[in-house]
C-alpha cells in the first residue's frame, strides 16, 4: 500500500476536499478552461496579471482528488510570481511528475508541490496532476482557447 | 461456473501482486483461448483474401468468412444471411445506418427518437445528421429508477418521426429496455427501429424474428470475440433501398468513371478488404457462447448481479444508479464525495479493474447531475469471489480517504 | 533471402500435395510468426479497452496502441504522431477523405483528378461524390507501357480542380508513379494530393517529408500486418479543418443532444472502440520490416521482378501488361485465348496461388480491352524457386489446353 | 492431374474454344444478361420461346472455358425443350455440379452435360459452370433484370 500512500498523501486529500483559492475572480484579466475529455475533469482558471506578475489566481471546476489538489496547491504556490518564475516552476513540476531520477534539488525548489510526485508511479493519473498546469500555460500564452489535455 | 476463468488466459496473471479481478466487460470482454487460437490458426494455415481468388487458400478463407455470417444469422435468428453485414463495431454500424439510410430518407425537420440513456455511439451519428440535414432529435426521458418513460415516448411521435434509435440495454444503468413494446409502438406509426445491442448481445438471447426490429447492431469485442468486428443486421427490404456507405473493391458490380453499378447484399456494404481474421475469430467466440449455453450464461450473470447489488447497497455512502427490475450485469454508483477516478486507482492497486468516468454517456451524467461514476460490469468469467474482492477493495478506498 | 520463408508459418503446408507457392501478395500478404504471436500475446496478457480505464491493463493497452502510432510516424517520417490515423484499411481511408474533406471543400462542378490505373477503392468514393455533390472526374490516361501520361495530366488542371487522388504504385501494372513531379505540379496549382500507397508501402521507403503529399494511405494486411487495420496520414492543417467522419465514443469532447464538441487529433477521427489487436499486431509487422531492412527488401524484390519478367517474356503467347522501367514486384499478363481463370485453376492445382480477374481495376481492363488478366505479385518471402515453379505451372496450362 | 483432366475434358476445351449457338438472335422473345462481378464473366442469352417451348436460343459473352463451354452445351441441349423439361434439367444439372454422391441415373439424363460434373472438385468454379443456367432461369422467370451470380 506504500505507492498508494505516496499518491494519496494527507495534504492531497486535504486539498482535494478543501481546495484553496476556489471560486470566481471578478477582476481577473484572463479566464481559461481546461478539460480532460477522457475522464471529464474540468478546471476553470481565473487569473489577474499585472506587469507580468500573476497577482491573484483562483479556480473552479470538478475532478478527482489529484486534479483538484494540484490546482489548489498550484494557486497557492504561484500567487505573486512573475511569468519567468512561473515558467521555471512549470518546467520543474512537469519533470517532477513525469520523470524518474529527478535530482533532489527539485524537491526543495518545488516546496509543497513536491507531494504530487506520487503520480509518477501512476501514469494514468499524470494528466490529472497536470490539468491545472496546462490550463495555466494556455492562459499565459494568451491562447484563451479550449484546452484539452490528453497526455 | 468458476471454471470459466480457466478458458481465459488473461486470468493467469497477477496485477500489482494480486489476482486480476476484471470487472469492465461492458467496455470490452476478455478472450477465451479458443478465439485467440482460431485467429492464429487462420493466419498460420488458411490465410488469403476472400471472394477473389481461384486458389485453395482463398477458397478456404472465403468459406470461413461466410461460415461466420451464417453462424451470426443462426445466432440472432435473422431471416437471411445477406441481412448480416460485417462492420468494425457498433459505432460504425450506427454511422452506416445514419448516413446510408438517413441521407436518403430524412430531410430537414424530420424527427428521430433517441433516449436519454444512449451511448455516444447512438447519439453523435444522429447529431451529425442534425447538422448535415437539419433533422431534429426527440429524447425519451429516463425515470429515476433508470427505466425509460414510456408514456413520454408515445407522445414523442409525430408525422415527421422517421426513426427510433434505442439501446437494448444501457451501458451505465444496466436497464434492459422493453423492446417489444417500444418497437410495436414505432411500427404502429410506421417508423423503423434501430436497436443498439452492444450491451445485450452476449448477455441474453437476441432474436430478430421475436424482436422484429429493423436494424440491430453489436460489437464482437464485447462478446468474447476479436477487436475490429461488429455486426449490422438489417431487414432485406430496408437494406436494399439503401445506398452504399463506403465505395471500393468487392462492393461493386461494374465500374467506369461515368457509372458504377453496385453489387448485391451483403457485399454492397462491405467495401475493401474486410477484417477477415476478426470475422474468423468471431466464429470461435460464437461457438464458445453456444457451447456454454445462453441459458446458463444468463442465469450465472443474473445471480452475480443480485449478489453484487446486495453487497454494494450495504456499503455506506454508495448511491446506486439504475435500479430497474430487468437489468444486465452492470452496476454504476457514486460514493459520497470521493471521485470515481480515485476509487479506480485504489481498486486497481488491488488488482481490480473497474471503469470510472462518464462511460460515453454524458447526457445521462447530466441527468443524474454527476460528472462521472464508477461502473462494474460482468462477463461470464466473473464469480462471487470477484465481487467479494471488490467489496474488500472498497474498504481500502475508505481507509485511504479517512 | 530464402530464409524469410521460415518466418511465415503458412509455408509449412502443402497445397494439393505441392509446396505452397504464394504469388498474390498484392492482394494480401502472409504473416510472419512474430505478428501472429504479438496478437495472441496481447489478448493473453494485456488486453483491455484503450484511452478509458484507470487500471493497469487499460494503461498497457493504451501504451501499445499509441506506441504503434509513433512507430508508423517514424516509419513514414510524418511530422507529428497526431497525423497518423488508424482506419480499417486503404478503402476506408479514401472514403474518409472523400467524405470528410470532400463534403466540406467541394461543390458542384469542382474537379478531381484521378488516373486510369486506379483501384476501385480510389475510384468509387469519388464517383459517390460525383452523385452526391455533382463534382466532375478528370482522368489521367495510361500510356501503352503502363506509365501515366504526364503531359495530359498537366492539361487536366483548371481553376475548379480541388484534389488529385493517385496511386503510388499500380496493383495491376506495377508502375511506380513519379509522385514528386505529380505532387509538385498539383501544389503549384494549390491543389492537395491524396496518395493511395496500398501497393507501395511495404515495398519501398515511403517518406512524407520527401513526398510532401497531403494525404497518404495504406493497409496493414498488405504489409505483413493484421487484417482490419489501415493508416491514413494527413497533414495537420488539412486534418484540423476536416469534420469528423464517424461519430461515437472517444472522438468527442462534450456531448449533449443540442451540441457536440469534437476531440483533438487524432481521436476526432477514431470513433468507437478501435481494432486494438490489429494495431498491436501491426507494430510487430513494422518491427519485422525494420529488422529485415527496407533496402534489402527492395533489392530482393527488384531482383525477383527482373528474373520473373525475363522468364515470363520467354513464354510463347504471353502479353505482359505494364512494362514501365520503374515497377514494384507485380506482373500481369494475358495468354493467347486462354482465360485467366482457367490458368488460375490449373496453377492452383500445382500449389501456386496467383490472382485472375479484373483486380478491382475495371477501367484499366477496359483500356487494355481485356475482361481479365493473370497477376503474380511478390512479397519478401518469395524466391527464384517460386518463379521457376510458376513457369513449370504455365507448362501444365499449355498441356491441358493443347 | 486427374481431377484437372476431369474438369478440362476435351469436350469442354472444344466448346470453350468453339462455342456453339454463339451470336445474336434477332427474333428472340427475351434477352437476359448474367454477370459474375467477382471474375467478370458475362453471358447474354437470347431466346425465342413459342408456346412454352424454347425453340431457339443463342448466347454471347466472355468468360473462362468452363462458363463458355457450359453455356454452349446448355444451348445445344435445351433447344426445342419445353419449360417443364428445362426446369427438370436445370435441377438435375444444379445437383450434378454441386453435390457429391448423385445417383448414376443423373448421368444418363444429363447426356453431354455430364462432362461439367468435374467442377464439383473445384468449388470456386461452380459459379462459372452455372452462370449460363442462372441467366436462363432469370430469363424464363421473365424478370429480365440484371443478374449477378455469386454463389
Ligand atoms: C492500389 C490499391 N488501392 C487500394 C486497395 C484497397 O485496399 P484495402 O482492400 O485494403 O482497403 C488496394 C488493394 O487491393 C490496392 O491495390
Ligand atoms: C450501449 C453501447 N453502444 C455502443 C457502444 C460502442 O461500441 P463500439 O465501441 O464497439 O463501437 C458501446 C460500447 O461502449 C455501448 O455500450
pLDDT tens-place string over residues C226-280: 999 999 999 999 999 999 999 988 788 888 888 888 888 999 999 999 999 999 9
- Which residue is it, cell 424478370? D143
Chain C residue at shortest CA distance from B120: C248
Assign 3-class secondary structure to C274-328.
CCHHHHHHHHHHHHHHHHHCHHHHHHHHHHHHHHHHHHHHCCCCEEEECCCCCEC
B79 CA to centre of own chain? 21
Beta carbons of B217 and B93 less than 8 angstroms apart = yes
Which helix (H) or strand (E) is C165 found in, with range? Answer: strand C161-167
Measure D51 CA to nearest chain C CA, in Å: 37
Beta carbons of B157 and B189 less than 8 angstroms apart = yes
Contact across the interface for B58 and D37, Cβ inside 8 Å: no
Residue range C271-297: mean pLDDT, rounded? 97
Q: Cα separation of C36 and C45, whole Å? A: 14
Domain of B28, CATH number, reads 3.90.1150.10
Verify that C321 and C191 share a domain, yes or no: no
The preferred substitution site among B119, B229, B357 for testing ligand 2, maximizing ligand atoms within 8 Å of CB, is: B119
Tell me how many helices (H) and strands (E) chain A has: 6, 4
What global pTM score does this model have? Answer: 0.95
The percent of residues above 90 in pLDDT, for chain C, comes to 90
**Chain A residues touching C261 at Cβ < 8 A:** 146
User: In terms of residue numbers, what domain contains B390?
Assistant: 5-32+293-401
**pLDDT higher than 50, residue D83:** yes
Show the CA angle centred on residue C310, arms to residues C309 and C311, nearest 5°: 90
**Chain D residues touching B263 at Cβ < 8 A:** 37, 148, 150
Residue that is last in its domain, among C255, C290, C325: C290
Query: CA of B301: how far to CAs of B200, B222, C140, in Å?
Result: 12, 15, 60
Verify that C99 and C124 share a domain, yes or no: yes
Residue that is last in its domain, among B268, B290, B312: B290
Contact across the interface for B342 and A39, Cβ inside 8 Å: no
Verify that C105 and C250 share a domain, yes or no: yes
**B266 prior amide bond cis, ω within 30:** yes
**Chain B residues touching A8 at Cβ < 8 A:** 342, 346, 400-401
Query: How do C161-167 and C111-115 pair as beta strands?
Result: parallel
Query: How do D30-36 and D41-50 pair as beta strands?
Result: antiparallel
**Chain A residues touching C252 at Cβ < 8 A:** 37
- For B123, the grid coordinates are 447519439
Beta carbons of A61 and A43 less than 8 angstroms apart = yes
Verify that C254 and C383 share a domain, yes or no: no
Ligand 2 closest atom vs CA B170? 1
Residue range C338-357: mean pLDDT, rounded? 95
Query: How do B21-22 and B352-353 pair as beta strands?
Result: parallel
Which string of b and e fits C259-275 if b means at least 16 CB within 10 Å? ebebbbbbbbbbbbbbb
Q: Cα separation of C84 and C86, whole Å? A: 7
Query: CA of C2: how far to CAs of A93, C380, C382, C392, in Å?
Result: 54, 9, 7, 19
Best A10, A64, A121 residue to mutate vs chain B (most B CBs within 10 Å): A64
Residue range D4-12: mean pLDDT, rounded? 92
Q: Is B120 left (phi over 0), alpha (psi -120 to 50) or beta?
A: alpha
Q: Cα separation of B34 and B226, whole Å? A: 11
**Chain A residues touching C254 at Cβ < 8 A:** 35, 37
Chains that touch A (3 or more CB pairs under 8 A): B, C
Contact residues, chain D to chain B, C-beta under 8 Å: 35, 37-39, 123-125, 146, 148, 150
Beta carbons of A67 and A129 less than 8 angstroms apart = yes
Query: CA of C87: how far to CAs of B29, B372, C91, C228, in Å?
Result: 22, 29, 9, 8
Verify that C129 and C271 share a domain, yes or no: yes
Beta carbons of C28 and C222 less than 8 angstroms apart = yes
pLDDT at position B3 is 65
E-assigned strand segments in C29-155: 84-87, 111-115, 136-140
Beta carbons of B168 and B181 less than 8 angstroms apart = no
Verify that B235 and B131 share a domain, yes or no: yes
A60 forms beta bridges with A44
**pLDDT higher than 60, residue D147:** no
Residues 363-382 of C with CB under 8 A from D: 365, 371-372
pLDDT at position C257 is 86
Domain of B229, CATH number, reads 3.40.640.10
Nearest residue to C269 via CA among A57, D8, B325, B91 = B91
**Residues near B348 by beta carbon (within 8 Å), at least 6 away in sequence:** B15, B16, C54, C55, C56
Beta carbons of C33 and B2 less than 8 angstroms apart = no
Q: What is the pLDDT of residues C28-61, one digit of tens each?
A: 999 999 999 999 999 999 999 997 678 999 999 9
Beta carbons of A94 and A133 less than 8 angstroms apart = yes
* Number of domains making up chain C: 2
Query: How do A41-50 and A53-62 pair as beta strands?
Result: antiparallel
Would you tell me how many other CB atoms lie within 10 Å of the CB of residue C309? 17
Show the CA angle centred on residue C283, arms to residues B230 and C291, nearest 5°: 150
Among protein residues, the one whose CA lies closest to atom 12 of ligand 1: C198
For residue C224, what is the DSSP state? T
Q: Cα separation of C39 and C43, whole Å? A: 6
- Smallest Cβ–Cβ distance between B346 and the set A4, A62, A128 belongs to A4
Ligand 2 contact via B198 beta carbon (within 6 Å): yes
Chain B residue at shortest CA distance from D37: B253
Verify that B322 and B220 share a domain, yes or no: no
Q: Cα separation of B165 and B282, whole Å? A: 25
Query: In chain D, where are the structural domains located?
Result: 2-146
Q: Is B392 on the interface with A (CB under 8 A)?
A: no
B45 forms beta bridges with none
pLDDT at position A143 is 57
pLDDT at position B120 is 95
The preferred substitution site among B171, B358, B361, B377 for testing ligand 2, maximizing ligand atoms within 8 Å of CB, is: B171
pLDDT bucket at D40, cuts 50 / 70 / 90 = confident
Beta carbons of B315 and B395 less than 8 angstroms apart = no
Nearest residue to B255 via CA among C359, C360, C91 = C360
Q: What is the pLDDT of residues D84-128, one digit of tens each?
A: 999 999 999 999 999 888 888 888 889 999 999 999 988 888 999
**Chain D residues touching B59 at Cβ < 8 A:** 123-124
Beta carbons of B141 and C273 less than 8 angstroms apart = no
What is the C-alpha radius of gyration for chain A, rounded to an integer number of angstroms?
Answer: 14
Residue that is last in its domain, among B271, B290, B309: B290
Verify that B325 and B344 share a domain, yes or no: yes
Residues shown for chain B: 402
**pLDDT higher than 70, residue C2:** no
Q: Cα separation of B285 and A18, whole Å? A: 50
- Which residue is it, cell 501482486? B17
Give the torsion through C-alpha atoms of A75, A80, A85, A90, to 10 deg.
10
Ligand 1 contact via C119 beta carbon (within 6 Å): yes
B390 CA to centre of own chain? 25
* Average pLDDT of every residue of chain C: 95
- For B289, the grid coordinates are 457462447
Q: What is the pLDDT of residues C136-175, one digit of tens each?
A: 999 999 999 999 999 999 999 999 999 999 999 999 999 9
**Residues near D40 by beta carbon (within 8 Å), at least 6 away in sequence:** C357, C358, C362, C365, C371, C372, D62, D63
Verify that B90 and B220 share a domain, yes or no: yes
pLDDT at position B156 is 98
Show the CA angle centred on residue A93, arms to residues A92 and A97, nearest 5°: 120
Q: Cα separation of B312 and B338, whole Å? A: 16
Query: CA of B302: how far to CAs of B86, B275, B382, C189, in Å?
Result: 30, 33, 11, 65
Instruction: Give me the tens of pLDDT residue by residue for chain B, a chain 402 residues long.
Output: 556 899 999 999 999 999 999 999 999 999 999 999 999 999 999 999 997 678 999 999 999 999 999 999 999 999 999 999 999 999 999 999 999 999 899 999 999 999 999 999 999 999 999 999 999 999 999 999 999 999 999 999 999 999 999 999 999 999 999 999 999 999 999 999 999 999 999 999 999 999 999 999 999 999 999 999 999 999 999 999 999 999 988 788 888 888 888 888 999 999 999 999 999 999 999 999 999 999 999 999 999 999 999 999 999 999 999 999 999 999 999 999 899 999 999 999 999 999 998 899 999 999 999 989 999 999 999 999 999 999 999 999 999 998
Chains that touch C (3 or more CB pairs under 8 A): A, B, D
Contact across the interface for D38 and B253, Cβ inside 8 Å: no
pLDDT less than 50: residues of chain A? 145-146, 149-151
- For B162, the grid coordinates are 422517421
- For C267, the grid coordinates are 481521436
Contact across the interface for C10 and B228, Cβ inside 8 Å: no
Ligand 1 closest atom vs CA C230? 10
Task: Please give the CATH topology (third level) of the domain spanning A2-146.
Answer: Sufe protein. Chain: A (3.90.1010)
* C360 counts as catalytic: yes
pLDDT at position C52 is 67
Contact across the interface for C253 and A123, Cβ inside 8 Å: no
- For C215, the grid coordinates are 494525404
Among protein residues, the one whose CA lies closest to atom 14 of ligand 1: C27
Show the CA angle centred on residue B108, arms to residues B105 and B112, nearest 5°: 65
Nearest residue to A22 via CA among A45, A2, A51, A4 = A45
Ligand 1 closest atom vs CA C121? 4
| Number of A–C residue contacts, CB under 8 Å | 25
Verify that B13 and B142 share a domain, yes or no: no
pLDDT at position D150 is 43
Q: Is C267 on the interface with A (CB under 8 A)?
A: yes
Verify that C107 and C242 share a domain, yes or no: yes
- For C113, the grid coordinates are 483528378
CA–centroid distance, C219 to ligand 1, in Å, is: 7
Contact across the interface for B400 and A13, Cβ inside 8 Å: yes
Nearest residue to B340 via CA among D56, C165, A62 = A62
Helix axes B276-292, B294-313, angle to 10 degrees: 80
Amino acid at each position: 500500500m506504500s505507492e498508494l500512500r505516496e499518491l494519496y498523501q494527507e495534504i492531497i486529500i486535504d486539498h482535494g476536499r478543501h481546495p484553496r483559492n476556489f471560486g470566481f475572480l471578478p477582476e481577473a484579466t484572463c479566464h481559461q478552461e481546461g478539460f480532460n475529455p477522457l475522464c471529464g475533469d474540468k478546471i476553470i482558471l481565473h487569473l489577474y496579471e499585472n506587469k507580468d506578475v500573476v497577482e491573484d489566481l483562483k479556480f473552479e471546476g470538478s475532478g478527482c482528488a489529484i486534479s483538484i489538489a494540484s490546482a489548489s496547491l498550484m494557486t497557492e504556490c504561484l500567487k505573486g510570481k512573475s511569468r519567468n518564475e512561473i515558467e521555471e516552476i512549470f518546467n520543474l513540476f512537469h519533470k517532477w511528475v513525469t520523470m524518474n531520477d529527478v535530482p533532489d534539488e527539485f524537491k526543495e525548489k518545488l516546496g509543497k508541490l513536491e507531494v504530487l510526485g506520487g503520480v509518477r508511479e501512476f501514469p494514468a493519473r499524470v494528466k490529472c496532476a497536470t490539468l491545472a498546469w496546462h490550463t495555466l500555460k494556455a492562459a499565459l500564452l494568451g491562447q484563451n482557447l479550449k484546452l484539452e489535455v490528453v497526455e | 461456473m468458476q471454471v470459466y476463468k480457466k478458458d481465459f488466459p488473461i486470468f493467469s496473471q497477477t496485477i500489482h501482486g494480486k489476482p486480476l479481478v476484471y470487472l469492465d466487460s461492458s467496455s470490452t470482454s476478455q478472450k477465451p483461448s479458443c478465439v485467440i487460437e482460431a485467429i492464429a490458426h487462420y493466419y498460420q494455415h488458411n490465410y488469403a483474401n476472400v471472394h477473389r481468388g481461384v486458389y485453395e487458400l482463398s477458397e478456404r478463407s472465403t468459406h470461413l468468412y461466410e461460415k461466420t455470417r451464417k453462424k451470426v444469422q443462426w445466432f440472432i435468428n435473422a431471416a437471411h444471411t445477406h441481412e448480416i453485414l460485417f462492420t468494425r463495431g457498433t459505432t460504425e454500424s450506427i454511422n452506416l445506418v445514419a448516413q446510408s439510410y438517413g441521407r436518403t430518407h430524412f430531410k430537414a425537420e424530420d424527427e428521430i427518437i433517441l433516449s436519454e440513456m444512449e451511448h455516444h455511439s447512438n447519439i453523435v451519428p444522429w447529431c451529425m445528421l442534425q447538422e448535415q440535414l437539419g433533422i431534429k432529435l426527440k429524447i425519451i426521458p429516463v425515470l429515476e429508477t433508470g427505466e425509460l418513460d414510456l408514456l413520454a415516448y408515445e407522445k414523442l411521435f409525430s408525422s415527421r418521426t422517421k426513426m427510433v434509435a434505442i439501446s437494448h440495454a444501457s451501458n451505465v444503468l444496466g436497464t434492459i429496455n422493453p423492446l417489444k413494446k417500444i418497437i410495436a409502438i414505432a411500427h404502429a406509426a410506421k417508423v423503423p427501429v434501430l436497436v443498439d445491442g452492444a450491451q445485450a448481445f452476449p448477455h441474453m438471447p437476441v432474436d430478430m424474428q421475436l424482436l422484429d426490429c429493423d436494424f440491430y447492431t453489436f460489437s464482437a469485442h464485447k462478446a468474447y470475440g476479436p477487436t475490429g468486428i461488429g455486426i449490422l443486421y438489417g431487414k432485406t427490404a430496408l437494406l436494399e433501398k439503401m445506398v452504399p456507405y463506403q465505395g471500393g473493391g468487392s462492393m461493386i458490380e461494374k465500374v467506369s468513371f461515368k457509372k458504377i453499378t453496385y453489387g448485391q447484399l451483403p457485399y454492397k456494404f462491405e467495401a475493401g478488404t474486410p477484417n477477415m481474421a476478426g470475422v474468423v475469430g468471431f466464429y470461435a467466440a460464437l461457438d464458445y457462447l453456444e457451447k456454454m449455453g445462453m441459458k446458463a450464461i444468463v442465469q450465472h450473470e443474473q445471480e452475480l448481479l443480485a449478489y453484487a447489488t446486495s453487497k454494494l447497497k450495504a456499503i455506506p455512502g454508495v448511491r446506486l444508479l439504475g435500479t430497474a427490475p430487468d437489468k444486465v450485469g452492470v452496476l454504476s454508483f457514486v460514493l459520497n464525495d470521493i471521485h470515481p477516478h480515485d476509487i479506480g486507482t485504489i481498486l486497481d492497486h488491488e488488482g481490480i479493474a473497474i471503469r470510472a468516468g462518464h462511460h460515453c454517456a454524458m447526457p445521462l451524467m447530466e441527468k443524474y447531475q454527476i460528472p462521472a461514476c464508477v461502473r462494474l460490469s460482468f462477463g461470464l468469467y466473473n464469480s462471487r469471489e470477484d465481487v467479494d474482492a471488490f467489496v474488500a477493495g472498497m474498504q481500502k478506498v475508505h481507509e485511504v480517504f479517512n
